[in-house]
Amino acid sequence: MRKIAAITGGGQGIGRAIAMAFAQEGYGISIADIDREAGLETVDLLRPYTDDAMFVELDVSKEDEVRDWIERTATDLDGIDVLVNNAGIFQIADVLELSAEQFQRVLSVNLSGAFLCSQAAARMMKKNGRGGSIINMASTRAFMSEPNTEAYSASKGGIAALTHAMAVSLGGYDIRVNSISPGWIEVREWQLSSRKELPVHSETDRNQHPVGRVGKPEDIAAACLYLSSEKAGFITGQNLTIDGGMTIKMIYAED
């Protein structure tokens, strides 16, 4: 039976690459994104691989919009087998100036959004009775930081904890829940066509990665496919860091 993958933030960047990879594997695709133009453009890009691709404009932090998306997906495409909680916003703001509202917005999109989508999808997966896989996009910033990234880091640390909590709660419904922590992934070529840019990386950019290059959205998409497959049937509640080794490289500052 053809499987269905639902991907938040699938309009651009890593989410667009994930949608392409699942479509190429024969999945039906449902994309949710706050950017209508980007979401519709991704659906067009999927056409060579599948006729079963849909887009719904929504904000993942809005419970009613999330519930409608999951219901429409299950009705129009026949169930949901995979959910990738990929939508996210980044923020750098002076920790002494950051308002409660600014902090909360990042938590609402990056963390509450993943919870709301997971809860709605898990209810549908339980109803369909064919199990499922949920993948949450965390970040290496869940475990290390630059200055003034409190809201983003907290949201991604929350994702790591949400992942093991939901993996334990949903195991009985044959639903596995894992997270991926990307490092530096170059997404400029994967934006809406009018915003695309050709990336340029310096030797220093490449050399801070033991594999000798910056990451690509395809690196993350391949891991999503693996974690959703039966080959990963004994993996749940885990976080997979995909960063070309950037975070295991010891750095001594030079004068």
Ligand X SMILES: NC(=O)c1ccc[n+]([C@@H]2O[C@H](COP(=O)([O-])OP(=O)(O)OC[C@H]3O[C@@H](n4cnc5c(N)ncnc54)[C@H](O)[C@@H]3O)[C@@H](O)[C@H]2O)c1
**Whole-number minimum distance, CB 216 to ligand X, in Å?**
10
Q: In what order do the strands lie in the sheet with 82-85?
A: 53-57, 28-33, 4-8, 82-85, 132-137, 175-182, 239-242
- Helix, coil or strand: residue 151: helix
Q: How far apart are CA 29 and CA 53, in angstroms?
A: 5
Q: Judging by DSSP bridges, how do beta strands 4-8 and 82-85 pair with one another?
A: parallel
187 binds ligand X (CB under 6 A): yes
> Of the two residues 156 and 174, which places its CB atom closer to ligand X in the complex?
156
With CB under 6 A as the rule, give the number of residues binding ligand X.
Answer: 26
Sole residue written with tokens 């006729």: 51
* Complex with ligand X: residue 81 or 243, whichever CB lies closer: 243
Task: Report d(CA 53, CA 30) in Å as an integer.
Answer: 6
Catalytic residue selected from 152, 173, 226, 252: 152
How long is the chain? 255
With CB under 6 A as the contact rule, the residue among 31, 70, 109, 240 that binds ligand X is 109
226 is catalytic: no
With CB under 6 A as the contact rule, the residue among 3, 5, 6, 13 that binds ligand X is 13
- Closer to ligand X by CB, 65 or 78: give it: 65
- 66 versus 124: smaller Cβ distance to ligand X: 66
Cβ at position 117, least distance to ligand X in Å: 9
Q: Is 87 in the site for ligand X (CB under 6 A)?
A: yes
Measured CA to CA, the distance from residue 157 to residue 46 in angstroms comes to 32
Residues annotated as part of the active site: 152
